[in-house]
Chain A
Amino acid sequence: MNMDRSLEFSIRQELKRMFDSGCSFADARFYDEDSTERLVLYDGNLEANYRRRERGIGVRVLKQGAVGFAATADLDAISACFDRALANAQAAAQLLGFPKDMGRAEPVKGTYQPPFRQDPFELPLPEKLSLLKSVDERLKDKTVEHRMVSTHFQRRRIFYFNSEGTEIERSCLNTFAGMVVMAKDKEGRTQRRSYELDSDGTGTRGFEWLADPKAFAEHAERIKRELGEIVVSETLPPKRRDVILLPGQGHLQVHETIGHPLELDRILGYELSFAGGSHVKPEMIGSLRYGSEKLNAKVMVVANSPGTFGYDDEGTPQHEYYLIKNGILVNVLCCRLDLAEANAKAGKVVVRESGASARAAGFYKTPIDRMTNVCVEWGDDGTLDDIIKATEDGVILDMPVSWSIGSNREHFHFGCEIAWEVRDGRVTKVYKNPTYQGHTLEFYNSLDKVGDRSTWRLFQVANCGKGEPNQIMEVGHGVPVMRFKNVLTGEGR
């Protein structure tokens, strides 16, 4: 391990001490660096010029089937931190239900580094601002009243140890960016059009991605033009019609109504008091028809995604697996800790191994079941044009404005930035204020067109909130263009 030797020694000693004191498992995550940089240009003003740096250790112990966690930024107090975690586990053991069990895993020694060429943290600030300013200039237009360009970089160096002998050194580097233009429509209401840095899943994650004009800057002209079309358009009239989701909207649909309900901790009821539960029950895994035959949802290991990190926060190597295969629910997002409970509740083996989904948002957060790269595989229904040509009465929707989902993810309501009406195989006009709502299973069972590889894009979600204590996590979703039949769109009244 490429870290402070005395600290490394202390952590190993403490893990041994925990094991010797009766813990069946213990692990520690030392964040040597967790840095964030945010830059926001709003109407040309640098309204956020911010860096953050965190350093500390998070410790988890499992004793008598109960989990205790503690964290500290005081690296001279590591032993006390382990003691607090142990005390927390002992307190939890007083009110024990299904004993927690990590199962057995062979020790892993590994390293991970994301693909990048230019580390944004090593670049001078003026160079980054110069890029944002150039994009801001491109967003200027007589029709644009307000504009925003933002970027957000993350860099982490994490050392993971557990009592099984697993030791992993990881680096993470994430680049997020977006641009927004706003203007008032003919009713005096503000409309917006935006772009978020996305990819086809390949490429690298450093500043070079953002600096590639094709990846980012060149979208400025498109969103300005589309905003111009939105502000002179009418509000989408309410009715049932086919809905074609572009990946800019489809990724959030998948995030909210496939990703979250398939997190095992939600399924088992551990998130009920905050984020919510799931309409899925353990015994449904392997048999529930989640969607039409066209639906194939998969956890992927995509090179260019914030959901790719090599090993999860229990040391499990990332790997690919289906969640939904030909419409049938076949697996869920899980870590080692809850496998035994899920299988016991299902009365059969429904989850065989960790999905490498244990993730913590920082050294002072405990790992919980999170999404990584929950993707929908591309299909064979052609390009976006092919799907449009096959549509009699529908709308194409892009980019979320609002999202509201039932507590068990059984129903949803989304608002989008823009709708393009499709009539008899042609795009006919633009509508503003589009919304759509539905019930999750009914909606995915109405999936009847899945676009090909050319339509598949990987979007980044930098702010997925969940957990108690609350955690914000970054994930990736690759999705193709998808068409759903007979969806309730628009608002009454």
Chain B
Amino acid sequence: MLEERIRTILLEARDYARKKGLNTEFSFHRERSSLIRLGNSAIALSTSEELTRLDVSVLSGRRVGDFTLTADINSLEQLKTALHQAEENCRNGLEKDYDPIFGMVEETIDDTTGYDPALETISSQSKAELCARVIKAVKPKGNYDFSGSWSSGSTEMFYITTANDNEAYRKMTDGKLVLVLKERMRKWELAVERSQKRADEFSADDIALEFETLLPIYEKNPGYKTATGTQRVLFGPQAIAELVSLCIWGGFLGRPYEEGRAFTSKNKPGDRLFSELVSIFDDPANPLVFGMPFDFSGKRRRLFKLVEKGVFAGVCYDSQTAAKYKRERTGHDLLNWNLVFLCGSGPGELEAALRLADNALYIPHLHYTHLPDPTKGLFTGSSRFNALLIRDGKFVAPIFSSRITDSISNVFNNIVAVSSAAVTQNQSSTYERRAPEAMAVPTWLLCDNVRISDVADSF
């Protein structure tokens, strides 16, 4: 439950709004964040932020006004000021040509299952010690430098509206560690990523071992410049998560779908879109994601199927789009979903996947993806860390930075096999406020006929 002092102020603000006859949504966000940033095998920066934000939204008829305050929230007067600003925006705003949906918390939720006090307060010192152990284990073995970052913290979200007395609360912790090893002369980069929900999940030995497993391939072989054209590609977890994000962004959001801007706009639920090996769900109950039990219209979030066995299952509607196009809200008034790409029946181990792939490119990371033509689902992005050439079922050489420019449909219709093992792929960002997000994806995805559009002369 939210700290009683803050909760009391927020409930008083709700009462105040009710007395003034204002349909009001209050969304409270508090983060305790810390991060260490590494460069040149040292800590370049250590930060900590304690921030509180309040979003207030007022709806009157067909008018809506919003206000966000980032400040230490400690008095009803502050909330009244924020409320008055949102109310003023609403009053002076323009009427929409549809009836906006006003938020209402469907049921009271108090979710602290993802909260670990030890992770909330994990010290920069203990982070530094773990990183130092990894660096000490690996660095002497070559001409290496380590970079990276380790972000951790807690996020509290509390959402109430004047529509009823229900309260939605969630407190959680999350962490993400990325360590990058760079060879000083040849400039190749290896990365190990970890996502955490609890403080004690990381092992320096495991991280060091993951680096050491790949290092011989990089040390013994020059970079390989693959040909442009179509290739068999074995995608790894981060690349799969990128493909899923592009797929959702380009095809499954309500507004672009309704307006003919999605690559699925000419389809309807029930149509076959992809190989039957593709199932993508938004599932807050999946244990690998940072499950979000409610959205910021108060809707209880439950399993929502987007693609099931290659068949178009559903489109996501936030309340604004649902109101505009007279659809049902689907629990997507939030940025951080709980996406899951369902596993297949392929072997879980990477070694077995390599044998299955036989001759292919291994691309575990896709960097800086974008959609040049969303209406066709055309995407582009380039390989980054740990990208390797597979020959006769084995890793034989690192590959130079290679660009894939292809359509989501082509990639997801040319799947050869999908791993039976799932992993968490942490997709969190801290651009404005702490926004933990993780996707559950198979450990690998093998696809034929993927278009390599360009290859650099370097890693």
Chain A contacts to B: CB under 8 angstroms: 34, 41, 43-56, 66-77, 84-85, 87-89, 91-98, 100, 124-126, 129, 133, 145-146, 182, 184, 188-190, 265, 268-274, 276-277, 279, 341, 364, 366, 401-408, 410-411, 413, 415, 433, 435, 437, 439, 465, 468-472, 488, 491-493
Q: How far apart are B90's CB and chain A's nearest CB, in angstroms?
A: 7
- B394 within 8 Å of A by Cβ? no
Flag B222-249 by CB within 8 Å of A: 1 or 0 each. 0000000000000000000000000000
Decide: A413 near B71, CB < 8 A? Known: A133-B94, A408-B401, A468-B430.
no
Pick 27 A–B contacts, CB within 8 A, sort by A: A48-B66, A52-B68, A69-B48, A73-B70, A77-B72, A92-B43, A95-B128, A95-B135, A97-B44, A189-B373, A265-B39, A268-B40, A270-B39, A271-B147, A273-B180, A274-B178, A279-B458, A364-B49, A406-B367, A408-B458, A410-B401, A411-B401, A413-B403, A437-B403, A469-B35, A469-B47, A469-B49
User: Smallest CB-CB separation from B62: which chain A residue?
Assistant: A45
B-chain residues with CB within 8 Å of residue A133 when the two chains form the complex: 94
> Are B431 and A471 touching (Cβ within 8 A)?
yes
Partner pick for A403 among B36, B259, B370, CB 8 A cutoff: B370
Decide: A272 near B148, CB < 8 A? Known: A73-B72, A97-B39, A126-B92.
yes
- B266 within 8 Å of A by Cβ? yes
> Are B69 and A53 touching (Cβ within 8 A)?
yes
> Are A129 and B93 touching (Cβ within 8 A)?
yes
Q: Which 8 residue pairs spanning A and B have beta carbons closest together? A: A97-B42, A415-B372, A91-B124, A88-B46, A74-B72, A54-B70, A272-B147, A270-B39
User: Smallest CB-CB separation from B435: which chain A residue?
Assistant: A470
> Are B454 and A411 touching (Cβ within 8 A)?
yes
Chain B contacts to A: CB under 8 angstroms: 33-52, 63-72, 85, 88-90, 92-94, 96-98, 123-125, 127-129, 131-132, 135, 145, 147-149, 151, 178-180, 182, 187, 189, 191, 259-261, 266, 320, 324, 367-376, 378, 380-382, 384, 401, 403, 405-406, 429-432, 451, 453-454, 456-459
Q: How far is the CA of A469 from the CA of B127 in the complex (A)?
A: 16
Given contacts A273-B149, A472-B432, 18 further A-B contacts (CB under 8 A): A44-B97, A46-B93, A47-B320, A50-B68, A51-B66, A51-B85, A52-B67, A53-B71, A91-B36, A94-B125, A100-B44, A188-B260, A364-B49, A403-B368, A403-B370, A404-B368, A437-B405, A439-B456
Q: How far apart are B72's CB and chain A's nearest CB, in angstroms?
A: 4
A-chain residues with CB within 8 Å of residue B382 when the two chains form the complex: 404, 406-407, 411
B-chain residues with CB within 8 Å of residue A404 when the two chains form the complex: 368-370, 380-382, 403
Partner pick for A273 among B47, B49, B148, CB 8 A cutoff: B148
Q: How far apart are A338's CB and chain B's nearest CB, in angstroms?
A: 9
User: Smallest CB-CB separation from B85: which chain A residue?
Assistant: A51
> Are B454 and A437 touching (Cβ within 8 A)?
yes
Partner pick for A435 among B125, B135, B182, B372, CB 8 A cutoff: B372
Q: How far is the CA of A91 from the CA of B42 in the complex (A)?
A: 11
Partner pick for B403 among A94, A366, A411, CB 8 A cutoff: A411
Partner pick for B43 among A41, A91, A124, CB 8 A cutoff: A91
Partner pick for A413 among B149, B376, B454, CB 8 A cutoff: B454
> Are B66 and A49 touching (Cβ within 8 A)?
yes
B-chain residues with CB within 8 Å of residue A269 when the two chains form the complex: 39-40, 145, 147, 182
> Are A67 and B124 touching (Cβ within 8 A)?
no
Q: How far apart are B254's CB and chain A's nearest CB, in angstroms?
A: 13
B-chain residues with CB within 8 Å of residue A95 when the two chains form the complex: 38, 41-43, 128, 131-132, 135
User: Smallest CB-CB separation from B73: which chain A residue?
Assistant: A73
> Are A50 and B89 touching (Cβ within 8 A)?
yes
> Are A49 and B93 touching (Cβ within 8 A)?
yes
A-chain residues with CB within 8 Å of residue B98 when the two chains form the complex: 45
Q: How far is the CA of A96 from the CA of B40 in the complex (A)?
A: 9
Partner pick for B49 among A34, A71, A405, A465, CB 8 A cutoff: A71
A-chain residues with CB within 8 Å of residue B69 when the two chains form the complex: 52-54
Q: How far is the CA of A280 from the CA of B447 in the complex (A)?
A: 34
Q: How far is the CA of A493 from the CA of B39 in the complex (A)?
A: 41
> Are B191 and A273 touching (Cβ within 8 A)?
yes
> Are A55 and B124 touching (Cβ within 8 A)?
no
> Are B259 and A88 touching (Cβ within 8 A)?
no
Partner pick for A46 among B38, B48, B94, CB 8 A cutoff: B94
Residue of A73, A77, A437 with most chain B CB atoms under a 10 A cut-off: A73
Partner pick for B48 among A48, A76, A84, A413, CB 8 A cutoff: A84
> Are A276 and B33 touching (Cβ within 8 A)?
no
A-chain residues with CB within 8 Å of residue B406 when the two chains form the complex: 493
Q: How far apart are A130's CB and chain B's nearest CB, in angstroms?
A: 10
> Are B37 and A468 touching (Cβ within 8 A)?
yes
B-chain residues with CB within 8 Å of residue A54 when the two chains form the complex: 69-71
Q: How far apart are B373's CB and chain A's nearest CB, in angstroms?
A: 6
> Are B147 and A273 touching (Cβ within 8 A)?
yes
> Are B266 and A188 touching (Cβ within 8 A)?
yes
> Are A190 and B324 touching (Cβ within 8 A)?
no
B-chain residues with CB within 8 Å of residue A87 when the two chains form the complex: 124
Q: How far is the CA of A472 from the CA of B374 in the complex (A)?
A: 24
> Are A94 and B35 touching (Cβ within 8 A)?
no
B-chain residues with CB within 8 Å of residue A188 when the two chains form the complex: 260, 266
Q: How far is the CA of A28 from the CA of B125 in the complex (A)?
A: 23
User: Smallest CB-CB separation from A51: which chain B residue?
Assistant: B67
Q: How far apart are B361's CB and chain A's nearest CB, in angstroms?
A: 16
A-chain residues with CB within 8 Å of residue B135 when the two chains form the complex: 95
B-chain residues with CB within 8 Å of residue A93 when the two chains form the complex: 43
Q: How far apart are B442's CB and chain A's nearest CB, in angstroms?
A: 23
Q: How far is the CA of A406 from the CA of B48 in the complex (A)?
A: 31
Q: How far apart are B225's CB and chain A's nearest CB, in angstroms?
A: 12
> Are A469 and B33 touching (Cβ within 8 A)?
yes
